A and B are shown apart, each in its own frame.
Chain A
Amino acid sequence: MQKEYTITVYTEDRIGITNRITVIFTRRGINITSLTTAETEIPGVYKFIITVISEKEKLVKIVGQIERLIEIHRAFVHEEDEVVYQELALYKISTKALQNGNIELLIRENNARILTLTDEYFVLEKTGHQQELIDLQAKLAPYGLIEYSKSGRVAIVKWSRRFHDHLKELETRRPDNLKQAQYSEHTEVSAEEESI
């Protein structure tokens, strides 16, 4: 079934890594609906958060192919209830609209805030889920919405462990350490938990 999924990818810091990831979606004709990337809490390790509308089965295979790339640490597909996520939108509105009493209510109700104000326009900021941001856009339209800009998704995985632990685990997998690595250490952790 086609649904919105969040994909997270942990990568090394490397020119062209975005290309390497996106081309795998391109090959299968899947449209990326949003993509956000930034450095994680570990210097040199980046996290990509990608949203797509597709089927889980297909995405599991794609994630496998992403993980196969040399500079990728791990990649996962998440259902909506596995992640806590937010998006951010900026709205540029004509200052004249301020004179209309309803806008105040709209700002209050949406927990939006004003970032800047000039004679001609002001800029509102709101964070939330995509639909809330789109809804506010629709409500602001009558007030003379000049420009609207929305970010991709940022997400936290509910079951994630510290990535540091994962990296430490990786260190134990150096060829010379492999022999001593004990399987029992890992078998207690379920496949999903083991992943990060």
Chain B
Amino acid sequence: MQQKDVLPMKPEPAEKRAATAAPLNITGSEAVIRSLIAEGVETIFGYPGGAIMPIYDALYDFQDKVHHILVRHEQGATHAAQGYARTSGKTGVVFATSGPGATNLVTGLADAYMDSTPMVCITGQVAAHLLGTDAFQETDVIGITMPITKWNIQVTRPEDIPGAIAKAFYIAGSGRPGPVLVDITRNAQVAKFDFEYKKCDYIRSYRPVPEMDPEAVKEAAALINSAKRPYIFCGHGVLLAGAEKELITLAEKAGIPIASTLLGLSAVPVDHPMYVGYLGMHGNYAPNIMTNECDVLIAVGMRFDDRITGDVSQFVKQAKVIHIEIDAAEINKIIKADVAVHADAKTALTALIKLVEPAKHDEWLKGFREADKKEEEKVSQKELYPAEGGLKMAEVVRMISERTEGKAVLVTDVGQHQMIASRYYRFKDPNTNITSGGMGTMGFALPAAMGAKVGTPEKEVVAVIGDGCFQMTLQELGTIYQSEIGVKIVILNNNFLGMVRQWQQLFFDKRYSSTEMINPDFVQIAKGFFVPGRKVTDRADIVAAVDEMISHKGAYLLEVVVEKEDNVFPMVPSGQPIANIRLE
């Protein structure tokens, strides 16, 4: 490294220095690592292999600056990066090799794309002159991941590496966040060039920050001010914009009840007086049915997933819809917006708060509480306080909720346990709900919990996982042991693929086709990975077991054997109007 003649008076921060110092003549691989450091990356989840070896070799010299976590499968790296991104707010970074390493990223990329999670995946690729020749471990990862990434790029020359990585981070983290993939051919990794890093903050064809139309905000405020039964849907966009406080202020000022989508959970504390519950197919009863009672719906940072709308033709027909959304393509995609505010949630809500008049809608809110009683009586009481019979998932989740005071990061997998955990965990702090929403990726929770813990080491991270899901990615126990990641793992074991079995029972005449599982001894498996654990089958042992798990320093696995053939209610049968919600 060349020294300048005159040293600056004050030493500049490392990142700034990296951006301004005289060019270094280094390999593309070293440029990758230096670029990541310039972007503030401290953690990488990855798995080496032939085509990415030069980059791993360069990483060897920077171990003091960048912590690489060796996962046990590339899919695990992607979910870990997702968990990391969603708790820390930073962009998750993944390394994988070409061919199978790259194709193993596909599920995680698709998941991150659906759930708007910022992630940068860097894959090795065969040398440029071998591209398209079916070389060993060559795969067209750009083609494969095109529809499931926010952006991707193949780099074949070392001098293009810094620019590509700068763009990747800018795109992944700005606007509606999403995953980006940078594929770097082997020759670009080994060749030398003059490295210079400049962060990207502008791409002329990309407008991540919409210019909010003040007229639209005025129209929205007018609608809210004249509403008798206004209703807020809180989506993931609220968390992504960090607009939780603004949302709550708006709700308090204008007396508007808030319901949450699956990914919006934890934006509003469950015990907040304006919070009325969780929407969707297996959400709470009141927020679902009241959707068709409101006169103004304010949808914030959400995309009207079919798990929320049911039959669209009978969804919220009576109300005016205000849609606050950063992604223009989501506006009018499913539900026609009477007023569309194309902006990020924070900007829009801040402007809206000033224009809405203080109001109370006590009767309207009371309607929710009354409807709640029906759910309490028909569902929740039986789930939370069963007098007899096998253990219920709900009572276990509620116990974890109580023992962590609702402050843990709850990471859930996909299926019955996910819906139950989302229903009964009493979230207190934002960004403490990590789950696979849009994709519904089984196997998500264990690796995502690792990433969540690395992203927020000060927090308790509890992964609630079904027996089926756990067996999709359980090899990550190896990562948890090796990298000493103190996650708490709760397996709610019903020896069934529970949600599919539930549908078979209700809609397929109890023909349980391939849903029963003959499971291994999960505690023994954990022991094999040097993760201590315990199995509980009796109600009487639950409190002690949960306490033991939480007080244990480091990773711990708790297997709870629950009722075999339980169903999750309420339930809106797929494709039906939400009015058809079933309580039993």
Contacts and interface: CB of A to CB of B under 8 A. Distances in A.
Interface of A: 11-12, 15-16, 19-20, 23, 27, 60-61, 64-65, 67-68, 70-73, 167, 170-171, 173-175, 178, 181, 183, 186-187
B524 interface: no
In this complex, the interface size class of chain B, counting residues with CB under 8 Å from chain A, is 20 to 34
Given A175-B202, A183-B211, A64 B328 contact: yes
Given A23-B146, A183-B211, A71 B329 contact: no
23 contacts: A12-B204, A16-B146, A19-B143, A23-B147, A60-B332, A61-B329, A61-B333, A64-B329, A65-B329, A68-B329, A70-B151, A70-B203, A70-B205, A71-B205, A167-B204, A170-B207, A171-B204, A173-B207, A175-B201, A175-B202, A175-B209, A178-B209, A183-B214
Nearest to A73: B205
B327 interface: yes
A181 B328 contact: no
Contacts of B204: 12, 73, 167, 170-171
Contacts of B327: 68
B321 interface: no
B206 A70 contact: yes
Contact of A173 (B171, B211, B213): B211
A178 B201 CA distance: 12
Interface in B328-346: 328-329, 331-333
B142 interface: yes
A36 B150 CA distance: 25
Contacts of B151: 70
Nearest to A62: B329
Contacts of A60: 332
A171 B207 CA distance: 11
A68 B328 contact: yes
B329 A19 contact: no
A187 B171 CA distance: 28
Contact of A72 (B150, B205, B213): B205
A60 B207 CA distance: 19
A70 B172 CA distance: 11
Contacts of B333: 61, 64
A188 B205 CA distance: 23
Nearest to A14: B153
A20 B332 contact: no
Given A64-B331, A72-B205, A183-B213, 20 more contacts: A12-B204, A16-B146, A19-B143, A20-B146, A23-B146, A60-B332, A61-B329, A64-B332, A68-B329, A70-B150, A70-B203, A70-B206, A73-B204, A167-B204, A170-B205, A170-B207, A171-B204, A174-B201, A174-B202, A186-B211
A11 to B, nearest CB: 7
Given A64-B329, A173-B207, A70 B202 contact: no
Interface string B200-231: 01111111010101110000000000000000
Interface in B168-206: 171, 201-206
Nearest to A15: B154
Interface in B300-332: 327-329, 331-332
Nearest to B147: A23
Given A70-B151, A174-B202, A16 B328 contact: no
Given A68-B328, A70-B151, A11 B205 contact: yes
Contacts of B215: 187
A181 B150 CA distance: 27
Nearest to B215: A187
Contacts of A175: 201-202, 209
Contacts of A167: 204
B171 A181 contact: no
B27 to A, nearest CB: 24
A176 to B, nearest CB: 8
A181 B46 CA distance: 43
A159 B209 CA distance: 27
